[in-house]
Amino acid sequence: MQTQGATRWEAAMDRLGDWFPFGKAPLIILLLVLVSGGWLLLHPVKRTQATLRFWTFADTHYYAYLNAKPSFEAAHPGQTVDFQFVHGQAVTTRLRAAFWANLDVPDMVEVEISAAGSFFRGPSDDIGFEDLTPRLKAEGLFDRMVKARFAPYTHRGRIYGLPHDVHPVMLAYRRDIFEAEGIDVSKLQTWDDLIAIGRRVTIPDKRYLLDFPDASPSGLEMCLFQRDGGYFDSGGRCIMDSPVAVETLKWYIPLVAGPNMIADDPGWGQPWVKAVEDGYLLTFTCPDWRSKFTEQQIARMAGKLALMPLPAVKPGGRRTSSWGGTMLGLTKACPNKDLAWQLAKHLYLNPEELAKRFRDTNILPALKEAWTHEAINEPRPYWSNQPIGKLYAELAGDVPPQYASPYIEFAKGKLSEVVSSCANYYKKNGEAGFAAFAEARLKGAADEVREMMKRNPF
């Protein structure tokens, strides 16, 4: 029986060989291709059926929006929202590709402030976001929200984003160590006051007062904003080498480099956590979003940290700056723009929702009328019982504007080079020739940005 079966099998193989003479392996590959291809054709990935598709890059926003979703859908029967949490870097690259290809464009998307300008390149018709100016005017939102926060999302007089936040910056400090050192923060009114303390308490390689970096622009740019400097002015002109910028750079570098440095950048994540816990860092710049991040990452510091306004440049001057931000844009591809606008208002302009969200995120909303809500004014045990929402709100009206430009990322890269090269120069040469070097380096960087801008024919 067995022999008969084997013979039949061999005969079948011979017939198959006549029909398909390229061997068994190619035949198996062909069959696999046909079977898997057929299976994929019969089981396509299900398309989202939601009325609105919304991308956000921040997990805190995402979970808060999921909580706000039922009330919106209940108020709009038959309409559904699909919130999607997309990594920050992926939002930028995927959204850019989606705009370019007119493919898979979400209806609404939150974009980080430093990436927003890159979406305003080219002719206005090519910008993938809807111009929100008429809707903002109709709703009277310019007066209800912090006006300075529209600037980063404005290009050629059109506003493409609704500001999610204000992000005033305060200084978080190790209250326990400050008290042990006899430092009275109420007397630290200016940067000069703080720097004097820094010179006293800093122990090289063991303890530093500030967390300003010497190889990236975040610290310098925050100080620049506080002094009404920045990358671009309201007309889109590059002001990176303005007198304010030169003076700020010359003031900043000796804080982060050289023998009298009082700042060190331990990096992000665990190294930063350990630096705060170990008392290696006595203070760190703390916009509202970072205060929640701190609570989550350095839980062991509960009750040992407190917040104070940034020192002013001159007595009576601005006691804050700005770091970070998010805009909500409606895409031109969205077929239900009115509904999308309703959702935007539900998420960004509903004081009750905003107050609830503040408890989850510590992010002060850009809507001023929400700041009086009790959730924003309650004391926080983690922050030594300070009412941190109230503290941030008191500074929010004074937050400096940042102006948008399609060249903002390039300019940031150039400023980063300037900071790094000036810090290296200062480490090697000290004050000798530093002022001229810093000025020349800043001018060179600004000229590069201008050269790049000149290439723009649109």
Interacting residues with another protein (CB under 8 A)? 18, 21-22, 26, 89, 93, 96, 99-101, 118, 121-123, 126, 205, 213-216, 264-267, 270-271, 274-275, 280, 409-410, 413, 416-417, 420-421, 424, 448, 455-458
Q: Which helix (H) or strand (E) holds 170?
A: strand 169-174
Nearer to another protein, 143 or 451 (CB): 451
Say what angle helices 351-361 and 288-297 make with each other, to 10 degrees: 40
Strands 52-56 and 81-85: parallel
Rounded Cα gap, residues 287 and 366, in angstroms: 14
We find the least distance from the C-beta atom of residue 270 to another protein, in angstroms, to be 7
H helix runs in 43-118, sequence order: 59-75, 88-101, 113-116
Nearest to 279 by CA among 362, 179, 423: 179
We find the least distance from the C-beta atom of residue 276 to another protein, in angstroms, to be 12
Rounded Cα gap, residues 217 and 320, in angstroms: 17
Give the tokens for residue 125: 């018709």
Nearer to another protein, 314 or 428 (CB): 428
Nearer to another protein, 73 or 448 (CB): 448
We find the least distance from the C-beta atom of residue 454 to another protein, in angstroms, to be 10
Name the DSSP letter for residue 363: P
Which CA distances in Å does 399 have to 6, 150, 238? 86, 12, 21
We find the least distance from the C-beta atom of residue 420 to another protein, in angstroms, to be 4
Nearer to another protein, 429 or 456 (CB): 456
We find the least distance from the C-beta atom of residue 458 to another protein, in angstroms, to be 5
We find the least distance from the C-beta atom of residue 335 to another protein, in angstroms, to be 20
We find the least distance from the C-beta atom of residue 103 to another protein, in angstroms, to be 12
Nearer to another protein, 388 or 449 (CB): 449
For 318, other C-beta atoms within 10 Å of its C-beta total 18
Nearer to another protein, 93 or 385 (CB): 93
We find the least distance from the C-beta atom of residue 262 to another protein, in angstroms, to be 15
Q: Which helix (H) or strand (E) holds 110?
A: strand 108-112
Nearest to 396 by CA among 93, 168, 88: 168
- Which residue type occupies 277? E
Rounded Cα gap, residues 208 and 257, in angstroms: 12
- Which residue type occupies 299? A
Name the DSSP letter for residue 156: T
Nearer to another protein, 176 or 448 (CB): 448
Nearer to another protein, 26 or 70 (CB): 26
Nearer to another protein, 9 or 100 (CB): 100
Residues present in the chain in total = 458
Count CA atoms closer than 13 A to 203's CA, side-chain side. 5
We find the least distance from the C-beta atom of residue 215 to another protein, in angstroms, to be 4
Number of separate helices (H) and strands (E) present in the chain: 19, 10
We find the least distance from the C-beta atom of residue 277 to another protein, in angstroms, to be 12
Nearest to 163 by CA among 181, 186, 138, 145: 145
- Which residue type occupies 207? R
Nearer to another protein, 1 or 101 (CB): 101
